[in-house]
Amino acid sequence: MRVITKATLLRFIEQQPLAGPPVLAWWRAAAAANWTCMQDLKAYAASVSVINAERAVFNLGGNKYRLVVGLAWTRRFVFIKFIGTNADYDRINAATVEPEQS
In a domain, 36, yes or no: yes
pLDDT digits (tens, 9 = 90+) for 76-98: 999 999 999 999 999 999 999 98
Name the phi and psi angles at 67, rounded to 5. -125, 115
Binned at pLDDT 50, 70 and 90, residue 102 comes out as very low
Binned at pLDDT 50, 70 and 90, residue 101 comes out as low
Q: What domain range is 37 assigned to? A: 2-89
pLDDT digits (tens, 9 = 90+) for 44-70: 988 899 999 999 999 999 999 999 999
Domains contained in the chain, number: 1
Radius of gyration of the chain (CA): 12
User: What is the pTM (predicted TM-score) of this model?
Assistant: 0.94
Tell me which residue of 102, 100, 101 sits closest to 84, measured CA to CA.
100
Helices 20-32 and 6-15: crossing angle, nearest 10°? 170
- With a CB cutoff of 8 Å and minimum separation 6, the contacts of 61 are 18, 19, 21, 22, 23
In a domain, 94, yes or no: no
